[in-house]
Amino acid sequence: MSVSDNVRESMSSSSWIRRMFEIGLELKKKVGVDNVFDLTLGNPTMEPPPEFDAELKRIVQNPVPGMHRYMENAGYPETRASVAQQLSQDMGVNFSQNDIMMSTGAAAALNCILKTILNRGEEVIIFAPFFAEYTHYVNNHNGCVKILPTDEQFIPDLNKLEAAITKQTKAVIINSPNNPSGAVYDEQTIHDISQILEKKERQLGGELYLISDEPYRKIVYDGTVVPSVFKYYRRTVIANSYSKDLALPGERIGYIAIHPECPHHKDLMDGFVYCNRTLGFVNAPAIMQFVIRNVQGITVSIAEYQRKRDLLYSNLVDMGYFIVKPKGAFYIFPKSPTTNEFDFIEELQKHNVLVVPGTGFGTPGYFRASYCMEDKTLQGSLNGFREVAKIFKLC
């Protein structure tokens, strides 16, 4: 057999996001690219901010000797120091370069973290709806996923969290702003999760890590504030990426940041760096590290994303769809008008509109639509949503 049993099984349950994207490719061949309204991928069509372009141009036109060579596996000290300085301002905790490892995006950061901390069979708790690849990342490193529900606003049920933590639990992953729902956990929620982890550490005598996946931290609306996880729990690690707030998904640049007071800090950082190398990432892209150090605090236009959110949200609500208004990220996660969301999604496809089933995010009965698209795609999708709403008697 050419493919291992583990990979074959994982492929069979692989990302619905990619499956729908592939369906979209076939549909575009049939009816033409301009006639398909693909809202599946979180792949920003917005261009990076001009400050990024200017810095990239400056570096390319003024090359530094050795800038394309290997560096420390953790990344350039100057870049890590720059990230640490910005994090100190944002998080209310004093970071140094020794708390940072540059990574090949947040995906590599998460894999390095999980590879470092997990023993075979240990559990990682995640909350539905969740980014679909979490289950695969945990499986990559011989861990087990335990999926917990959230409430109607997509906020974790803390009683269920406390009951779910056992001696086999090693970590809890949170993702706020959330993909796919756009939910943002408030200060009280972060405080309460931290209190539960501290209590369970004392009761069980183990180590419980809080892993915060934060690629959408800077993409929030209506005055929403994303609280600092570092203020409440020392055994905290974040995975972050510039893919979304600088519109650089193809450049694969991000970082790990560990709480400066995390127990066994040096061992963990050594583990992250070792796994960065042995998992084959080796180091984060060199040129991107040069650019990133000088564009800290810069983002794409958040107001533009809010405008796109409002366009899609208001139109779908007017059609009768039930949606919890997103506070961040660039997705909406409406309820399907029928219990089996696949029936609804098939009807949408007849109108050349593509979305992702909630099943792919651990939450059947919903669907995800990305609004990081061009306006013509968002506007073009509305007729399909309207016609399907009529079929299911929403309007």
Q: Give the whole-number percent of the chain exceeding pLDDT 90.
A: 89
pLDDT (average), residues 173-180: 98
Of 328, 389, 338, 340, nearest to 364 (Cα)? Answer: 340
* Secondary structure letter of residue 69 according to DSSP: S
Sheet hosting strand 367-370, strand order edge to edge: 331-332, 367-370, 356-357
pLDDT tens per residue, range 55-109: 999 999 999 999 999 999 999 999 999 999 999 999 999 999 999 999 999 999 9
- For residue 235, pLDDT over 60 is answered with yes
For 16, 114, 238, 356, the CA distances from 209, given in Å and listed in that order, are: 28, 10, 10, 30
Strand extents, DSSP E, the chain: 37-38, 100-103, 123-127, 144-148, 169-174, 209-213, 236-241, 254-258, 331-332, 353-354, 356-357, 367-370
Residues 6+ apart with CB under 8 A from 149: 127, 128, 157, 160
**Consecutive H or E run containing 277:** helix 265-278
Helix axes 375-391, 302-319, angle to 10 degrees: 20
pLDDT (average), residues 230-254: 97
Q: What is the pLDDT of residue 6?
A: 74
Domain boundaries, the chain: 5-48+301-391, 50-292
Under CATH, domain 5-48+301-391 is a member of which superfamily? Aspartate Aminotransferase, domain 1 (3.90.1150.10)
Tokens 């998904």, located at residue: 249
pLDDT tens per residue, range 346-355: 999 999 999 9
Q: Would you say the CATH fold of 50-292 matches that of 5-48+301-391?
A: no
Phi, psi of 65 (to 5 degrees): -55, 130
Angstrom distance (rounded) from CA 242 to CA 299 = 9
pLDDT (average), residues 298-322: 98
Token pair recorded at residue 1: 């057999």
Angstrom distance (rounded) from CA 313 to CA 319 = 10
CATH 3.40.640.10 fits 50-292, yes or no: yes
Contact 290, 73 (CB under 8 A): no
Q: What is the pLDDT of residue 46?
A: 96
